[in-house]
Structure formats: structure tokens, C-alpha cells
Chains A and B, each alone.
Chain A
Amino acid sequence: MKTIINTLICLVSAFSFAQGTGSIAGLLNDKETGNQPLPFANVTIKGTGKGTTTDFDGLYQIENIEPGSYTVVFSFVGYETLEVPNVKVVANKVTTINSGLGASAAALDEVLIQVVNSREKESALLLEQKKAVEMKQSIGTQELARKGVSDASTAVTKTTGISKEEGSSNIYVRGLGDRYNSTMFNGLPIPSNNSLNKNIDLGIFSTDIIEAIDIDKTYVTRNYGDFGGASINIAGKDYKGPGFFEVNIGTGVNTNAIGVDKFKQQDGPNFTGFYDKNPPANALSGYNFDTSWELKDRDPINTSLGFTGGKSFDLGTESRISLFGHASFGNDFTYKEGIARGGISTQGVARKNFDYESYDYTTGSTFMLNSTYKINNDHNIKYNGFYINSTNQAHEEYYGTIDVFDEAANGGGIVRRSTFKRTQLLVNQLLGEHKIKENLSIDWGATYNSMISSIPDRMQNTLRPIDDDGDLSIKTLSELSDANNHRFYQELTEDEIAGRLSATFQFAKKENDYKGKITAGYNIRTKDVAFEATQYNFSLKTYNNPNDYPIVDFNNLDEFFTQSSYDQSLFQIKTLFGGSTEKPETYDGDLFINAGYINLQYNFGKLILNTGVRVENIEQNIEWITAIAPVGGESTLKETQVLPSLSLKYELNKKQNLKFAASKTYTLPQFIERAPFQYVDITNTYFGNPDLYSSTNYNADLKWEFFPKSGELISFGIFGKIIENPINETTIASATNDISWVNSGDQAKGVGAELEVRKDIFSLKSENDNLEEKLSFGTNISYLNTKQDFDAEKVRKETNYSVQFTEENGPLTGASDWLVNGDISYSKEFSQSMDIMATAAVNYFSDRLYAIGNNQRGGLEDKGFVTLDLIIKSNLTKNFGIGISAKNLLNPTVEQLQQTQNVLTRSFNKGRTLSFSASYKF
């Protein structure tokens, strides 16, 4: 629905006239959707400055026009501009415009000036939703700004049925986690920045570069079939107007972070996040690390700075080049303190029991350049490129019992870990749209993505009391495991080339409209993944007499880790391969997907049918050499999937739709999940399961939508899912409680209901100057009931692994029964250039399972909580705007507990964040 003509057919009835003037009125229809009314289109009278926009039903009226002959211009973003010349206006009469008039070709700046990209607007996205046959849901710039959302990850949680796992990048859609979702940018895939995840952390995408986020919770054939929860597509911002330049600055504080004496950060990583560090040469043959173990301080004041601009250049009558650029930097400080426990036994005893604190400093730098070349009304090509540098510098300290049976058994242990993680993402996209004939169009896109995720110089220390039965404050470095004191370097790169091509042919023309549409498309995706990591362990000297261990000062570890200590053999430096073998652990993977699809849409009048099938051919290879699997190995997965889908839309009336969708999809295991090598994370050891196979998903949705008026929506939907052979991460029976992935049961089922309401409480417009005052609210509530079988017998039969599930069945991990979002907004326009808007937004999720229980131990459950944000924005002049936000005002305690034993495993609060921002538009 991109390049279309708007025609005017009808007319309207009675109007009143100012003395001696006339009116123009009419109904604007959208040919693309079968002559549905087209709201929010601009209607202007050339040369007069007069204009209006069409209302929700596509109607418009412009009054008080001096009699004469005019050119009327209709425009709508993404649509061609239509000029209707020689419109005669006669005093005291309403002129209606005949659709038989042909369009002239002149582009008009007056019209374009008024055009803001409509997909940024809430009302336009709702309209899009209304028109779509699919059950699509979108959140645009306007709504994100209103709710004070600054990144894509938080953005999706504002939509129905989506929640985010605390402390990770995992998004759950209807209780379905990372593996069930996919992420795209402009309809093209994006690599992941985490070796264990399928999707990139949406948190790295600043809303500055987002026009809208589209969430397809039903499967459509143009999307990749590895789907269960949602296909999330980020539509990048672009610009088509005459030009603008805007500067944004902001500052803020987190109440927890500002309250600490010292905001502890490891030595090395800098303020900007543009930092890298290689291991020293001769890392094993001497103490050659040049970053200090001493912690640095940083002032925990959040800052942000951004520049955004755009300009368009006309090249002749139909041709135009539009540019959009954005550069920004922002950072964020948070501090948490609380308790952390682990290894809770069946008897309820915590093996690890800590008080902990964590300091997090994140940065994000985004650069985007976007250019659209409109060749003529039928062809356009767009280049979209961006680079993101996203970092998180976390420093954690744990105080207490490291192992109740072993290390610091009576307390007094300290584990501290500093991790700087940097993700760089470079995306280059070329996109094109071509109208070959009136009823044949071609749409294509290609992307080259490069992602580097690195962890340079992670530092860890472990200290224990020298005498567990004596003075616990006298400490030494823990020698129990070499890995207890280490430095670590990791790099994951993903290079991806992907393309899409589709042709749409319309047929069965009736009057000015086509009833039928066939789309045939092809997708290709290739991805190379390379991972390498080296850990340098400090293997400490052991002493026969426990009292001989050197006393070490936690706050002055540089005193111990010196060349002199190395020379005295107080420690050796070893890699995970042991001894003097200095080579990284590596794995390399590649993915190749070929997919073709064909889709038919036919309009029977009230009923629109959309059905199609997609065939996907997948090949996935991985090879590895790790310390635990030093001989290396390789694994291949090849599959062909045939995936049908069906969507129906029934128009109950002009304002109400009933939509239905059903599909079959699949869920592919991730690279690392099938590779039988052991991979040591910070706290856990994972190894893949070569017998792991794809799950098959059946999805069905039914939804009623009611659009009372512009910007309003009431919808209610129900859905059901069956996942055959669902994949779950679980602890498997092993000497060291390793984690793997198994098809954990025959079936998982989910049924749910989703309600969404957006309604104006009142909306007043002043008589004279059309200024609006409005109070509105929005809410979405989802109820979910999931159940999956846990079948240890099945796992034993299908794999070499043994598991011991505590329960025979349970909910899906990450699935809350209830998810609620609500917001209330007040806005008032004081003049054309001065306004204020205030929004209060709440979010709630109910208790959800975090990890499946095993060995008669309960599962880990995240307790639900409520967050409340308050956002105020105001435009003070035409150029100058300010914003104030207060987030997490209730500051709830975030808790996780082990069920059955009922032991708290995690507890902290995040603090409140207060921010101020200002923008100036030139």
C-alpha cells in the first residue's frame, strides 16, 4: 500500500456559508484498500493557504473561499499528490469535485510542508490497523514520545501481550520467549548480539531512528516461518519535507545511583563507550596486564545529546531526493543492591547466599543516514544505513557464602566481577519499489549487516576468609578454582546478507478497483557467525598450612597482582586449555535460508480473504574447538518447511471488523543449542544437544475491532497456540549440573484473550482558532493460560541426556497470566506553537516462571510488580520544547523465588529515574 492515487468521488450535503463565499467539500477515498475512506489526508487550496484534513470517514470541507477558480491539492504520505485544477467556487454554494478529472503532475511544497510522516502518528497507525487484513499492531513515534519511551525494547512492552524479562534482553510475546520471535529492520533480518539468543537486544535501538515498530502476532507468508510469538519489524525513520534541523539535549539521575558514595567502575572502559582492549602480548609468560584492578569512580549523571536533520531536493516534476540524518549519544547509570542466592537444595538450603550490589553504566551512540530517491511516481529507491555502538559496563560485588559446603562456608566471601560489553551494529540496506503497470508492482530490499559484540578485559576476583572459623574479615584470594580470579576476552561477529523480492499483481478490476491481488516473493538469508573467547586464569599458589595464605586487601588487589608476585610463583597464568596453551575457544556457524511464497488476497465485498503458503529451506552448520571439546567437531541441520497461512477480514460495518488468522509455523533450534560442545558461561556450563529438533507451531487468532472515531479503538481478541515438541532450556542430570536444551514434552498449549481500549474522555476544540484540549486514556490487558508437559521419559528416549523434572507440567517460562498496560494523557494547545502534554503510564505483569524446576526443586518464579512513569512534554515556542519525566515512581522490590522450597533467590529495587530534556528546532 504505497504508491497510489487518491480520487475523489462523492459529495456532501448542506453547509452554511459566510456571506459571499463558497465551499469545497467531498469524500476522499483510498483506491488501494478498495475505496475505503481515506482519513487524515491533507486537502489544500493552492495559493490561498487554506486547507484542512479529511476526517475519520474521509470527509472534508473547506469553507469561506472567495469565489473563483482554484487548484485543489490532495496529499497523503506514501501516496502520490493529486492536483485537481480549475475547481470553480461560487458564492453560497458547495462545490464538489468530479473524480473524472485527471491528475496533474506538479509537486507542491505547500502541501509537503504540512506533511509529517503519518506512520509516526497514533491515529494513522490505528487506521492502518483498521484497513489491514492481518492482525497487525504498531506503535509509532508519537505514542512512544507520549509514553516517554526511548528504546525499542521498552516500546514493544507498551503493546498488548508483550513483556520483558528482568535483567536480560529477552522479550516474551504471549509468553513465548526469544526463540519464538524474530526481529527485522525495514522487513530485512538483523543479526543477534548474544551467542545464546536468536534476536538482537532491542534495547540498543534508540527511538530516535524509529518511525514505528510493527508487531505481527499472526504469521504472514512474507515473514520468516521461524515464528511462534511475533515478528517484530522496526521501520526506520525517513523524511520527505523541505528541510529541518533539530538539537536535543537531556540530563537525569537515578535515585539509587546518585545515592552511592562511589559509582564503581572497572579501569579501562571510557565515558563514550568507544573502547576496545586486546589481551597483552605474552599474557601467559609474565604479568603484563596494564589495566588496574582498582575501581574508578564516575559521576552518575545521565546525559544525552542528539542532532537530527532532513532535507529534500526536487529534481524535475516527479523526481525528488530526500535525506534524513541522525547522530546521538546517550548514557545511563543504574545501581541495584539486594540479595542473590543460588543452588537452593530440595531441603531449601542455599548453597550460595549473598548480599550484592551492581553498578551499571550504559551508553548508546547512534548514527543514521537515510536517503530516498524518488525516480518518478512509479519508482523509488531508498538507502538506509546506520551504525550503533551500544555498551554496558557492569560492576557487581557479592558478599557472603560462596558455597555453604566449601568456600567461605560461614560467610565472608567476596566475588566481584566487572564486565564491559560492547555491541557494534552496522546496517546497510537498499530498498526499492517499482510500479511496472497499473496493476503490477515490484518491491525489493537487500541488506548487508555486520555485528561485533565484544567483551574485552572482563575481570573477576574471588576472596575468602583465610580461616572460616576465625576472623572472617581477614581475606585471601580464593585458590580453589583457577577461574575464581581471571580476565576474559570475547568477540562474537555476525555477518549477514539478506534479500527480499516480491511482485504483486492485481486482478479482477471492477470500476476503479481490483478485487484480487497475488503476491509472489522470494527471500534469501545467509549468515556467518564467528565466536572466540580466551580466559586468562590466575592459578594461585597453594599452601599446606592454611595459615600461610597471604592476606589480600580487597581494595588494593594491584598490590598482589604484580610481576614480582608472578616471579615468586604466587600465581601462574593459564588459559582454559590449561598450561601454556594460548589459543581461543572458537566456534563458527553459518545459516542459509531460501524461501519462496505465494499469497492471494481477494475482496468479496464485506469479506476479504488472504491466504498463502511459504516454503522454506534451511541449512545450519556449526563447527567448534573449545577447551572441553578440544578435538572439535561439527554439526549440520537441514530442513524444508511448508507453511500455510490464512487470514480473513469481515467488515461488520464501517467502524467494525472481525478478523481471523490461522497458520502453521516452526521453531528452529539455535546454532549453539545443537552443538554438543560445552560452553562455559560466567556461572553456568552449557552444552548443546545434537538430538534437538524443530518444534511445530499451530496458531489461531480471532479478533474484533471497533474504531469509534479518529484515534480511538476498542478491540478484543482471543487466540490459541499448540506447540508440538517445545524446546526448553533445563538443567540436565550431570556431575556438574550443566544446562542444555531439550524437546521437553509432546505439547505446549496456550490460550489467551487480549483487550485494547483507546478512548478520548473529552476532546474540546476552541471555536476560533481550532486549538484542542484533550484527555484520553488507553489500556491493554492480556490474559494468558499456558500449559506444557514435562516428560523426562521422552527426553531420555530421544537423547543421550537425562532430566528430572520436578513437575509433570507447568506454564511456559516467561508467561505471565496477566499483563496490563494503562496510560492516561492530558494535552492542551495554548496557541499554534505552544502546547503541553502530560501522561501517566502503568505496567503490570503477574508472577511468571523463570526456569523449570528439576530434581524435586521448585522452579524459579519472577514475582509480578507494577511500574508507574510520569511524562510531561511542552512546546514553548515554535522552535523550543522541553520534557520532564519521572520513571519507576513506585520503585517496587523486584523478587525472584524458588517455588516449592519457597526461598527468595533474588531481591532488589531499581530506583526512580528523573530526567529533563530540551529540544530546539532550526
Chain B
Amino acid sequence: MKKFFLSVFALSALFVTSCSDDDDNTNNDGDEVTIDPSDFQLTLNDGDEAELDASKTYQLTGPVVVQSGASLTIPAGTKISASGGTSAYIAVAQGGKIFIEGEANNPVVMTSANETPAPGDWGGLVVCGKAPTNKGGDGGQTATAEVSNLTYGGSEVSDNSGSIKYLRLEYTGAEFNGDKQFNGLSLFGVGNGTTVDYVQSYMGKDDGVEFFGGTVEGNHLVSIGSGDDSIDFADGWNGSGNYWYIKGGTKAGIEGSNNGDNGAATPMTDATISNVSIVGGGSEGGFFIKEGGGKWAISNVYINGYEKGIYIKPATDDPEANSQVAAGEITFTNIQFDEVDNVTDYAGDTSFITEGTSTGAGNGADMPSWAAGWTID
């Protein structure tokens, strides 16, 4: 398939002005981007600006890639219905922008087109920015994302990939192999100029939301029924999260790591997270401090229904994470364990955990009020 194929579907076509330059393998056929809602797949190039039509349901049949200099706007109420497994995903390259403009009572929904939808039916949403990750080194080097050969990472802390608000992602997580699997929302080196607020992953096969380095804040995140970890941060994420509600994940509620190859890699993961509810179960605990851990300041947490509250491997398996805990770089304050068998399997001094009473994301084990209207349970 040499050129991107554009079919003309007159009635529902959406025309957008474009000044795309000559790039191979893209829609350089003219100045207009033609989108066919019944066969939604395209590459937007530098200068392309496309906006979807909220009155349509878009059948996502292949990749939608927003390249550098292009932007894609998805208005409130737009439904994207995906089929085609790993082929179906939406990705934003470095320098590209996505504007998902859902509203509290009218979210943007990306879901499976299957009659009986199941986790892993399609890919997910991938955003690649220019903020630092420790994957390529400690000097703002880049790395390559799981899909599309897209590059991420760099040194632009306040990089802006657009804005994602009131988005619900359902049945994501199609996979290529054990290592390569889409998350609901994958944030690769996304900078803190980007807004990520009010996003739900529902019944994703892999993680609900994952931060791979970057500096972006993730607020009002909901992850329900995740097939792996509910929310995951790794590879030098240096950001904060406020109001996370997690329920029914298979593995860890929140998994945080520094770097899987080198637990001591820099820039080190530095996470500040508050107001979190984690409702069980899951085999890897409410929190899993993994692969060097990094620096964590976690506060106001409610955990319910786990065998392990805060899980960490022994020092023989994860020396760096254990020494981070010992050094006081990882702390939990005002954390309430409800129906948790074992608060932590950390072998040393457990003073890094300060128990208390907490409403977590707002409503303890129950869905918080800020999640009403745009999420499903």
C-alpha cells in the first residue's frame, strides 16, 4: 500500500483546508483532508487541521496519525467505533496536537465496534511529546514508542500536545506480543503544556492509563476493569496526579517504576499523587513499587479489597526500589487500608507509610461525584 487511500464519500465528507507538504505515504493528494466516517483512517501532516463531526459515528478501521504540525479536533459527543484490532488506533506524533473537547455530560467516546465488545478489541490513544524520559539517557534523548515508529522524549518540559478532556476509552489493549500492547491512553513523554483531565479507561486489556516519562499532569482519571495495571507511570515521569478512581483491575491498582533496565536511571520518576481511591482486587497490590521505583509522594488514599496494600519485591530482586524506600524518597501519607490483608511486604522500616482515614478520590470505594455523567461503571 503505497499511498494513503482516500475514498470520496460525498455526503458525510468533511473538508478542511490544508497546506500539506510533500511527504510520502500520506495524504498529499491535494489541499483538502477527506475523512470518510465509514472507513476512518488517515495521516494528518504538517499544516493539516481536521475536525470531526459530532453527529457522526466514525468507524475506526486503521491508524489515525497526527504528525508534527497537524492537529485533530474531536468535539463533544463524537463517537469513534473501532474495529481491526492492533491496526485501529489514534496516535499523535511529537509536535502534533489533539483536542478532545468532551463535556461532563457529553463525553467523546472511543470504543469497540464489536457487537459483543471485549477487552483488546482495538488499540487505544497514543500521544507522543517532547518532554524528558530516562529511556534514552539522562540528557533529554529521545526514544521510540510502541507503535507507528513514533519518537518521543526530549527536553521540552512544557511541551504541548493539545488537550484531552472528558474522554472515555473502552475495550482498548489490542496486542502484538507480551511487550507490545496498547494501553487505553498511552502518554509517551508528554509535556506539562498538555491538558489531560477527565479521562476514563473502561475494560482495557492492558493498562488503563500509562505515563512513559514526560511531565504531563493527569487529573480526574478513572480506570475500571483493566486487564493489567489500572494506572501506570514509568521511565522518569515527572508529574502529578489529582483525583484518580480505580476499580477492578487485574494486577496493580497503581504501578510506578523508574526504569526496567536500570532502576537508578535519571531523570528519576518523580510522582506526586493525591486523592486516590483504589478498589480491589488485583494480584499485584493497591500500589506496586517496581523497577527502581523513583520518588513518590502519595497522599490521601483509600484502598479497598487487596491481599497486598503496597507491594514491593525484595531487595534481591529490586535493590533500587528498596533503597529508595529506605532513603525516604517514597512516602504515603494519610492512607486508609480497608479489607487489605497485608499493608506492605517491604521488609524494612514501614514508617514510609502513614495510615489515616481518607475519602480517596472523593467518595471512598464508590464512584466520586466528579465522575458522574461521563463515565460508565
Interface of A with B (CB < 8 Å)?
343, 345-347, 349, 351, 404-406, 409, 468, 480-484, 539, 542, 544-546, 572, 574-579, 581, 623, 625, 627-634, 676-678, 680, 685, 687, 732-738, 792, 796, 800-804, 854-857
> With A685-B176, A792-B137 given, is the CB distance from A631 to B63 under 8 Å?
yes
Q: Would you call B320 an interface residue if the criterion is a C-beta within 8 Å of the partner chain's C-beta atoms?
A: yes
The answer, among A578, A680, A857, for a CB contact under 8 Å with B262, is A857
* Inter-subunit contact B142/A800 (CB<8 Å): yes
Q: Would you call B87 an interface residue if the criterion is a C-beta within 8 Å of the partner chain's C-beta atoms?
A: yes
Contacting chain A: which of B69-77, B147-155, B161-169, B332-340? B147-155
Q: Would you call B145 an interface residue if the criterion is a C-beta within 8 Å of the partner chain's C-beta atoms?
A: yes
**22 sampled A-B residue pairs with Cβ under 8 A:** A345-B261, A481-B177, A539-B120, A542-B250, A579-B85, A581-B84, A625-B1, A627-B86, A627-B87, A628-B148, A629-B148, A630-B84, A631-B1, A631-B41, A633-B2, A633-B25, A685-B180, A735-B144, A796-B142, A800-B144, A802-B153, A855-B261
A545 CA to B248 CA in the complex, in Å? 10
Chain B residues whose CB sits within 8 angstroms of the CB of A678 once the complex forms: 149, 176, 180
* Inter-subunit contact A579/B83 (CB<8 Å): yes
Q: Would you call B174 an interface residue if the criterion is a C-beta within 8 Å of the partner chain's C-beta atoms?
A: yes
A735 CA to B41 CA in the complex, in Å? 24
> With A347-B263, A736-B179, A804-B136 given, is the CB distance from A632 to B1 under 8 Å?
yes
A476 smallest CB distance to B (angstroms): 12
Q: Would you call B66 an interface residue if the criterion is a C-beta within 8 Å of the partner chain's C-beta atoms?
A: no
User: In the complex, which residue of chain A has the Cβ closest to the Cβ of B284?
Assistant: A406
Contacting chain A: which of B10-18, B311-319, B361-369? B311-319
Chain A residues whose CB sits within 8 angstroms of the CB of B43 once the complex forms: 631
A847 CA to B180 CA in the complex, in Å? 34
A545 CA to B280 CA in the complex, in Å? 10
Chain A residues whose CB sits within 8 angstroms of the CB of B87 once the complex forms: 577-578, 581, 627, 630
User: Which chain B residues numbered 227 to 284 have a C-beta less than 8 Å away from chain A?
Assistant: 227-228, 235, 248, 250-251, 259-265, 281, 283-284
A803 CA to B142 CA in the complex, in Å? 9
* Inter-subunit contact A346/B85 (CB<8 Å): no
User: In the complex, which residue of chain B has the Cβ closest to the Cβ of A539?
Assistant: B120
Interface of B with A (CB < 8 Å)?
1-2, 4, 25, 41, 43, 62-63, 83-88, 114, 118-122, 135-137, 141-149, 151, 153, 174-181, 188, 212, 227-228, 235, 248, 250-251, 259-265, 281, 283-284, 290-291, 313, 316-320
* Inter-subunit contact A627/B176 (CB<8 Å): yes
> With A542-B250, A733-B144 given, is the CB distance from A630 to B175 under 8 Å?
no
* Inter-subunit contact A349/B137 (CB<8 Å): no
Name the 8 nearest CB pairs between A and B, nearest first: A578-B85, A733-B136, A630-B87, A481-B178, A632-B1, A346-B262, A802-B136, A733-B143
Chain B residues whose CB sits within 8 angstroms of the CB of A735 once the complex forms: 135, 143-146, 188, 212, 235
Chain B residues whose CB sits within 8 angstroms of the CB of A685 once the complex forms: 176-177, 179-180
A430 CA to B215 CA in the complex, in Å? 66
User: In the complex, which residue of chain A has the Cβ closest to the Cβ of B290?
Assistant: A405
Known: A631-B63, A676-B149, A804-B136. 19 other contacts (CB 8 A): A349-B318, A578-B85, A578-B122, A579-B122, A628-B147, A629-B149, A631-B25, A677-B149, A678-B180, A680-B180, A687-B144, A733-B137, A733-B144, A734-B145, A735-B143, A735-B188, A736-B180, A792-B141, A800-B151
> With A578-B87, A801-B144 given, is the CB distance from A483 to B262 under 8 Å?
no
A733 CA to B25 CA in the complex, in Å? 25
Residue from A801, A803, A857 with most neighbouring chain B CB atoms (10 Å): A801
Chain B residues whose CB sits within 8 angstroms of the CB of A575 once the complex forms: 85
User: In the complex, which residue of chain A has the Cβ closest to the Cβ of B179?
Assistant: A736
User: In the complex, which residue of chain B has the Cβ closest to the Cβ of A409?
Assistant: B313
User: In the complex, which residue of chain B has the Cβ closest to the Cβ of A731?
Assistant: B261
User: In the complex, which residue of chain A has the Cβ closest to the Cβ of B123?
Assistant: A578
The answer, among A468, A576, A676, A802, for a CB contact under 8 Å with B142, is A802
* Inter-subunit contact B136/A546 (CB<8 Å): no
* Inter-subunit contact B319/A349 (CB<8 Å): yes
A575 CA to B176 CA in the complex, in Å? 9
User: In the complex, which residue of chain B has the Cβ closest to the Cβ of A735?
Assistant: B146
* Inter-subunit contact B264/A346 (CB<8 Å): yes
A629 CA to B146 CA in the complex, in Å? 11
* Inter-subunit contact A481/B175 (CB<8 Å): yes
Chain B residues whose CB sits within 8 angstroms of the CB of A800 once the complex forms: 142, 144, 149, 151
Chain B residues whose CB sits within 8 angstroms of the CB of A468 once the complex forms: 283
A819 CA to B204 CA in the complex, in Å? 54
> With A545-B281, A735-B188 given, is the CB distance from A574 to B85 under 8 Å?
yes
Chain A residues whose CB sits within 8 angstroms of the CB of B25 once the complex forms: 631, 633
A390 CA to B269 CA in the complex, in Å? 51
* Inter-subunit contact B263/A546 (CB<8 Å): no
* Inter-subunit contact A544/B248 (CB<8 Å): yes
Chain A residues whose CB sits within 8 angstroms of the CB of B136 once the complex forms: 733, 802-804
A179 CA to B151 CA in the complex, in Å? 28
A406 CA to B260 CA in the complex, in Å? 12
User: In the complex, which residue of chain A has the Cβ closest to the Cβ of B235?
Assistant: A735
User: In the complex, which residue of chain A has the Cβ closest to the Cβ of B5?
Assistant: A631
A572 CA to B259 CA in the complex, in Å? 33
The answer, among B175, B283, B316, for a CB contact under 8 Å with A483, is B175
Chain A residues whose CB sits within 8 angstroms of the CB of B188 once the complex forms: 735
* Inter-subunit contact B261/A405 (CB<8 Å): no
* Inter-subunit contact A577/B86 (CB<8 Å): yes
Chain A residues whose CB sits within 8 angstroms of the CB of B41 once the complex forms: 631
B168 smallest CB distance to A (angstroms): 20
Residue from A484, A581, A736 with most neighbouring chain B CB atoms (10 Å): A736
The answer, among A346, A484, A632, A633, for a CB contact under 8 Å with B261, is A346
* Inter-subunit contact B281/A546 (CB<8 Å): yes
A534 smallest CB distance to B (angstroms): 13
> With A634-B2, A680-B180, A796-B141 given, is the CB distance from A733 to B281 under 8 Å?
no
> With A346-B264, A578-B86, A734-B143 given, is the CB distance from A802 to B114 under 8 Å?
no
A409 CA to B314 CA in the complex, in Å? 11
> With A542-B119, A577-B87, A735-B188 given, is the CB distance from A405 to B318 under 8 Å?
yes
Residue from A409, A482, A572 with most neighbouring chain B CB atoms (10 Å): A482
Chain A residues whose CB sits within 8 angstroms of the CB of B175 once the complex forms: 481-483, 578
A351 CA to B135 CA in the complex, in Å? 17
* Inter-subunit contact B144/A734 (CB<8 Å): yes
Chain B residues whose CB sits within 8 angstroms of the CB of A796 once the complex forms: 141-142
A575 CA to B121 CA in the complex, in Å? 12
Chain B residues whose CB sits within 8 angstroms of the CB of A792 once the complex forms: 137, 141
Chain B residues whose CB sits within 8 angstroms of the CB of A736 once the complex forms: 146, 179-180
* Inter-subunit contact A680/B316 (CB<8 Å): no
> With A405-B318, A546-B283 given, is the CB distance from A345 to B137 under 8 Å?
no
The answer, among B62, B259, B291, for a CB contact under 8 Å with A405, is B291
A802 smallest CB distance to B (angstroms): 4
> With A347-B264, A628-B147, A735-B146 given, is the CB distance from A576 to B86 under 8 Å?
yes
* Inter-subunit contact B84/A578 (CB<8 Å): yes
Residue from A405, A678, A802 with most neighbouring chain B CB atoms (10 Å): A802
Chain B residues whose CB sits within 8 angstroms of the CB of A483 once the complex forms: 175-178
Chain A residues whose CB sits within 8 angstroms of the CB of B248 once the complex forms: 544
Chain B residues whose CB sits within 8 angstroms of the CB of A802 once the complex forms: 135-137, 141-144, 153
The answer, among A484, A545, A733, for a CB contact under 8 Å with B141, is A733
